[in-house]
Structure 1
Amino acid sequence: MSLEEKDYQFGGHTVKISLFKESFLGVSAYVWGPGLALCQYFEAEKFNFTGKKLLELGSGSGIVGILATLLGGDVTLTDKPHVLKQIEYNVSANIPLGSRHRIKISSLVWGTDQKNYPNDFDFILGSDIVYSPIQFPFLLQTLQDLCSSNTVIYLSSDMKYREGSVKFHEELVPEQFNSEVIHRNGSNCIYKVTKKPQSMSTAF
């Protein structure tokens, strides 16, 4: 297996990412545009996640979750089991020992494993996780289960080159969530998503 390494700069933080090439990680062995767009958005808006609890879905290389940790957050990075070693490698390279208690790495398969997680996250992050329509029901269920009425979800998606992304964001998500585009970068769009309040049923 070969490593492909690259440094990224965001707001005074250098994030060194190594990708496990020839490792059967498929799409997870890349840093994709939507992930960079979300990191750049955090940089431009001067985000500070100190004291906040975050969960990242489909972490892949770990670049977004690692930056969120460097910006002060308590972050849980998740992906399928076979991707976790790459995430662990990059976390070790970027997060100082004194901050390691603020970052966790664990398996989360959408539609099943979310039941093992709390729903008290301040933020849920996802970049370039909308590309496989067969997974959309599981992703939506996972978001529903993981977020409370106070959770803010940031989803960064490539709207031009990912199958079903327009339908997902413009039709499926609004059925269950409030959603708005807050930033555009080329074909990448960042959506801010929150849970719709449940209607009050009258008891008789």
Structure 2
Amino acid sequence: MSGTLSMELEEKDYEFCGHPLRITMFKGASLGVSSYVWGPGVILCRYFEAMKIDFTGKKVLELGSGTGIVGILAVLLGGDVTMTDRPYVLKQIEYNIVANVPPSHRHHTKISALAWGSDQDKFQPDFDVILGSDLVYSPTQFPGLLQTLRYFCQDKTIIYLCSDVKYREGSAKFHNEMVPEQFNSEVIHTSGSSCVFKLTRKIPGNSTSF
């Protein structure tokens, strides 16, 4: 880590489910929105805490990991977690994994680049749980995000998305109109203007095979 970059690091302390986390944001490293811990990520972590979610034995994929705060908590709650984002964000995720995941558990983590709508085919669609927080903020990204979610969402997959439905452009339309066309979707938690959505695969009732 260069000395210049170290001067641009900002740390924040959190605690979820009895696990203290120190999350470092690479401010000034041209990561854009990825160098922040956004409210929906914290809300999703608080939801896991409130519901005493246990990811033991689950294969978990996080989309748009950013700082990695949600994926790291999923690891500490027992999951085998693949954290993904754009290539230039991966160093930040790695830094926070090293800082927060004990060496004895790091084999339960994986970091990979994944651009929505183009990279998903490089992965096996065998995840039990998909996580995403504050992914829904740019309508230009919606088609790729939906394509990626469809690819990974198998019959028994559960998707947890936390979105700010009031202050993110197009978020309400995405969740209220676009998602229900392709997934079973329900709001399972609200906090302020953010909602946690649970999505599962929608299986057509009257499909016909030829």
Query: TM-score, structure 1 length as denominator?
Result: 0.98
Which of the residues 137, 145, 161 maps onto 1:139? 145
User: Which amino acid in structure 2 is aligned with residue 127 of structure 1?
Assistant: S
1:200 Cα deviation after fit: 2.7
Partner in structure 2 of residue 106 of structure 1? 112
Alignment of 1:3-152 (within 5 A): 3-152=9-158
For residues 200 and 109 of structure 1, the distance between their equivalents in structure 2, rounded to whole angstroms, comes to 31
For residues 70 and 7 of structure 1, the distance between their equivalents in structure 2, rounded to whole angstroms, comes to 16
1:201 aligns with 2:208: yes
Partner in structure 2 of residue 177 of structure 1? 183
- After superposition, the C-alpha distances for 1:81-113 in whole angstroms (9 at most, x for unaligned) are 000000000000011111111110000000010
Q: Between 193-202 and 88-97, report the one with greater CA deviation.
A: 193-202
Q: Secondary structure at the match of 2:188?
A: strand
Count of matched residue positions in the alignment of Structure 1 and Structure 2:
203
Alignment of 1:154-193 (within 5 A): 154-193=160-199
User: Which amino acid in structure 2 is aligned with residue 81 of structure 1?
Assistant: P
- After superposition, the C-alpha distances for 1:123-151 in whole angstroms (9 at most, x for unaligned) are 00000000000010000000001120110
- After superposition, the C-alpha distances for 1:3-61 in whole angstroms (9 at most, x for unaligned) are 10111001110111000011111100100000000000000000110000000000000
RMSD of equivalent CA atoms: 0.8
For residues 118 and 191 of structure 1, the distance between their equivalents in structure 2, rounded to whole angstroms, comes to 24
For residues 65 and 177 of structure 1, the distance between their equivalents in structure 2, rounded to whole angstroms, comes to 23
Instruction: Report runs of 4+ in structure 1 exceeding 2 Å deviation.
Output: none
1:202 Cα deviation after fit: 4.3
Gaps of 5+ in 2: none
Query: TM-score, structure 2 length as denominator?
Result: 0.95
Residue identity (%): 65
